[in-house]
Amino acid sequence: MRTTISIDDALIDELMRVAPSVSRSEAMRRAVEEYIRNRRLEEFMKLAGSELVDMGWREAERSEMAKLKKHGRKQ
């Protein structure tokens, strides 16, 4: 999709400096993708520690695997 936006020339210059081998359009696409990825990660990390996201899943898995092993079941 073609879009016209106003961006500070210094920002575009810096973007092209860190991504010299791509077109401006490709550099902008990558920058937007990275921004979205970072925002999603921030939102996920806000959920970490809440009851919605269990960051201790590995310990629960180890416990479950130990129980299966104790009862002679294949893993």
Q: Please provide residue 19's backbone torsions phi and psi, each rounded to the nearest 5 degrees.
A: -135, 65
pLDDT in tens, the chain (75 residues): 888 999 999 999 999 999 888 999 999 999 999 999 999 988 888 877 676 776 677 888 888 888 888 877 655
* CA–CA dist 60, 32 (Å, integer): 36
* CA–CA dist 13, 22 (Å, integer): 13
